[in-house]
Amino acid sequence: MVGELARRLELIPALDRAIETAARVGGLEAVKQRARGCSPGQLLVTVAESMLCGGDSMLDLERLRGDQAGAELRAVGEVPAASTACQLAQRYRPTHLRAAEAAFARCANAMDAQIGRAPDGPVTLDFDSTGVEVYGRQKKGTGVNYQGQLAYQPLLCSWAQRGRLLASEFIALLCCCLIERQLRNAMNREQITQLPLYPEDRACTAPTAVRIFDHLAPLQRHHLIRDGQAVQTFEPQLTPLQAQLLDLLGVPVSAYTSNP
């Protein structure tokens, strides 16, 4: 059913045209140089079909690839190998993906028109977050959820009346990006070209959120409690670099310590 719907909407050709046009207009390299094998649009649809079948990684494409009986029912019958899909996926840039999203929206609007949905109908935006478990402690923007799983926490926005997913933001990753932008803009404003954030105080010209957190994480405030009452508070002593980071981020020192 999904394959038939994609074919009737001509979804894959629309995605391919949009991604190819984005490369020409934005001055980017094309996702594919040769017109053979899996096209950029086919890869996006293949990954979507894999997810609909319960897949949660590129390796699950191998399971879909082995399902020869269901090939005729899928939108993309010839599923690429997982290794090929990974190599191709690395060539996508944000401009390509924005173009693909716009093409998908046009196809969805065309489907709404075919089934008689008025474009001026009511719009209710439904926001909900969900956990996406991942593996590997080095994944940027992840956190441990209440179940003890390392996960992303995407915020999903859907059009309730039409059951259409409109947007998805990875909250933790978005926060990391905003922190990096805040610091780098402040560095440009203050004409600071580098900060000693790398090990052994080596210079860093483009600070990442991970480096910022590494330097602020040791800050701790301890309370001495006796008979349920706070007897003494041990305030952290900020290093000059920590104080500079907080200043560039627009965070008052009082958020960490009452000491000047």
Clarify whether residues 19 and 82 are in a common domain. yes
Clarify whether residues 162 and 243 are in a common domain. no
Length of the chain: 260
* pLDDT bucket at 259, cuts 50 / 70 / 90: low
| Within-domain flag for 126 | yes
pLDDT, one tens digit per residue, over 229-241 is 888 888 888 899 9
Both structure tokens of 57:
């990684």
Q: What average pLDDT score do residues 133-146 get?
A: 74
Q: How big is the chain by its Cα radius of gyration, in Å?
A: 24
| Within-domain flag for 152 | yes
Alpha-carbon distances of 67 from 5, 41, 50, 192, 199, rounded to whole Å = 20, 21, 11, 56, 49
- Rounded Cα gap, residues 48 and 46, in angstroms: 5
Clarify whether residues 169 and 209 are in a common domain. no
Clarify whether residues 84 and 135 are in a common domain. no
Q: What average pLDDT score do residues 211-237 get?
A: 87
Clarify whether residues 105 and 169 are in a common domain. no
| Within-domain flag for 5 | yes
* pLDDT bucket at 192, cuts 50 / 70 / 90: very high
| Within-domain flag for 260 | no
* pLDDT bucket at 23, cuts 50 / 70 / 90: low
Clarify whether residues 148 and 132 are in a common domain. yes
pLDDT at 26 over 70: no
Clarify whether residues 109 and 17 are in a common domain. yes
Cross-strand pairs, 237: none
pLDDT, one tens digit per residue, over 98-137 is 888 889 888 888 888 888 887 777 888 888 877 777 777 7
Cross-strand pairs, 128: 156
Clarify whether residues 196 and 179 are in a common domain. no
| Three-state secondary-structure class, residue 223 | strand
Both structure tokens of 23:
């490369």
pLDDT, one tens digit per residue, over 156-177 is 888 888 877 776 655 566 677 7
Clarify whether residues 3 and 99 are in a common domain. yes
Both structure tokens of 160:
């309730």
Cross-strand pairs, 132: 152
- Rounded Cα gap, residues 158 and 128, in angstroms: 9
The least confident of 32-41, 81-90, 194-203 is: 32-41
Both structure tokens of 226:
């006796």
Q: pLDDT: is 2 or 227 the higher one?
A: 227
Range of the domain at 229: 192-255
* pLDDT bucket at 194, cuts 50 / 70 / 90: very high
* pLDDT bucket at 213, cuts 50 / 70 / 90: confident
Q: What pLDDT does residue 49 have?
A: 87
- Rounded Cα gap, residues 106 and 13, in angstroms: 12
Total domains in the chain come to 3
Clarify whether residues 113 and 18 are in a common domain. yes
Last residue of a domain, one of 171, 191, 211: 191
Cross-strand pairs, 233: 223
Clarify whether residues 137 and 183 are in a common domain. yes
Amino acid at 156: L
* pLDDT bucket at 258, cuts 50 / 70 / 90: confident
Clarify whether residues 174 and 106 are in a common domain. no
pLDDT at 260 over 60: no
Q: What pLDDT does residue 173 have?
A: 65
Q: What pLDDT does residue 25 have?
A: 62
